[in-house]
Amino acid sequence: MWRALHIGAVVIGFFAFWQLAVAVAHPPEYLLPGPVAIFREMASAPLWYLGHAMLTVGSTLLGFGAALVVGCLAAIGIVYSRLLENTLYTLLIALNSVPKVALAPLFIIWMGTGLSSKVAISFLIALFAIVVDTVLGLRSVDPDAIDLFRSMRGGTLQTLLWLRMPNALPHLFSGMKIAISLALVGAIAGEFVASQAGLGYVILSAQGAFQTTRVFAAIVLLGILGTLLFFIVDLAERLVCPWHVSQRARHRGAEPSP
Amino acid sequence: MSEGAAFLDIAGLDKVYSSRDGAIVALKNVSLSIGAAEFVSLLGPSGCGKSTLLRCIATLEQPNGGAIRLHGRAVRDPPDDMGMVFQRDVLLDWLTVIRNILLPARIRGLPLVEWRPKAMQLLELIGLDGFANRFPWELSGGMRQRVAICRALLLNPALLLMDEPFGALDAMTRDELNLELQRLWLDDAKTVLFVTHSISEAVFLSDRVVVMSRSPGRVVETLAIDLPRPRPLAIRETPEFSRYVARIRQIFEGFGMLRGSHVRA
CB–CB of A142 and B90 under 8 A? yes
Closest-CA residue of B relative to A245 is B137
More confident residue, B164 or B215: B164
State the pLDDT at residue A249: 61
> What pLDDT is stored for residue B76 in this prediction?
87
pLDDT given for residue B206 in this prediction: 96
Shortest CB distance from A151 goes to which of B60, B94, B137?
B60
Q: Is A70 exposed, middle or buried (0-12, 13-18, 19+ CB in 10 A)?
A: middle
With respect to residue A177, please indicate whether it lies within any of the assigned structural domains. yes
The string of pLDDT tens digits covering residues B249-261 is 999 888 777 665 4
In a domain? residue A214:
yes
- pTM for the whole structure: 0.84
> Where in the sequence is the domain holding A59, given as residue range(s)?
34-242
- In angstroms, the CA A135 to CA B128 distance is 37
Inform me whether the C-beta atom of residue B118 falls under 8 Å from chain A C-beta atoms. no
Give the residue, A190 or B216, on which the prediction is more confident.
A190
Average pLDDT over residues B84-105: 95
* Residue A162 located in a structural domain: yes
Q: What is the mean predicted confidence (pLDDT) over B214-224?
A: 90
* B132 in reach of chain A (CB within 8 A): no
pLDDT for residue B80: 87
Burial state string for A87-110 with b = 16 or more CB within 10 A and e = fewer than 16: ebbeebeeeeeeebbebbeebbee
b (16+ CB within 10 A) / e for A210-232? ebbbbbbbbebbbeebbeebbee
CATH number at residue A121: 1.10.3720.10
Give a yes or no: residue A152 inside a domain.
Answer: yes
Q: How far is CA A162 from CA A166, B43, B93, B219, in A?
A: 6, 34, 11, 38
Average pLDDT over residues B16-38: 89
For residue A22, tell me if it sits in a domain: no
- The answer to whether residue A217 is domain-embedded is yes
CB environment A153-188: b (16+ within 10 A), e (fewer): bbeeebbbebbbbbbbbbbbbbbbbbbbbbbbbbbb
Q: What is the pLDDT of residues B31-65, one digit of tens each?
A: 999 999 999 999 998 888 899 999 999 999 999 99
pLDDT average, residue stretch B190-206: 95
Is the Cβ of B101 closer than 8 Å to some Cβ of chain A? no
**Minimum Cα–Cα distance from B131: chain A residue:** A256
CB-CB under 8 Å, B92 with A256: no
Q: Is residue A60 part of a domain?
A: yes
Q: What is the largest CA-CA distance in chain A?
A: 75
Chain A residues with CB under 8 Å of B52 CB are none
Least Cα separation, residue A133 to chain B (angstroms): 19
Residue B230 pLDDT grade (very low, low, confident, very high; cuts 50, 70, 90): very high
- Contact state of A153 with B80 under an 8 Å Cβ cutoff: yes
Tens digits of pLDDT across chain A (258 residues): 788 899 899 999 999 999 999 999 999 989 999 999 999 999 999 999 999 999 999 999 999 999 999 999 999 999 999 999 999 999 998 888 888 888 899 999 999 888 999 999 999 999 999 999 999 999 999 999 999 999 999 999 999 999 999 999 999 999 999 999 999 999 999 999 988 999 999 999 999 999 999 999 999 999 999 999 999 999 999 988 888 876 666 555 444 444
B80 to chain A: which residues are within 8 Å by CB?
153
Amino acid letter, residue A135: V
Give yes or no for B86 touching A (CB within 8 A). Answer: yes
- Whether B104 has its CB under 8 Å from any CB of chain A: the answer is yes
Contacts of B103 in chain A (CB under 8 A): 152, 162
Interchain CB distance below 8 Å, A243 and B142: no
What is the reported pLDDT for B46? Answer: 85
The pLDDT of residue B215: 80
The minimal CB distance from B107 to the residues A162, A166, A242 is found for A162
What pLDDT was estimated at residue B255? 79
The pLDDT value recorded for residue B3 is 46
Residue A14, domain member (yes or no): no
Work out how many domains chain A is built from and give that number: 1
Whether B170 has its CB under 8 Å from any CB of chain A: the answer is: no
Cα B221 to Cα B211: distance, rounded to the nearest angstrom: 5
Cα B89 to Cα A204: distance, rounded to the nearest angstrom: 59
Long-range contacts of A228-235 (CB under 8 A, 24+ apart): A229/A57, A229/A60, A229/A180, A229/A181, A229/A184, A230/A177, A230/A180, A230/A181, A232/A180, A233/A173, A233/A176, A233/A177, A233/A180, A234/A177
pLDDT the model gives residue B5: 62
pLDDT in tens, B110-126: 999 999 999 999 999 88
* Contact (CB, 8 A) for B75 and B59: yes
**ipTM of this complex prediction, to 2 decimal places:** 0.90
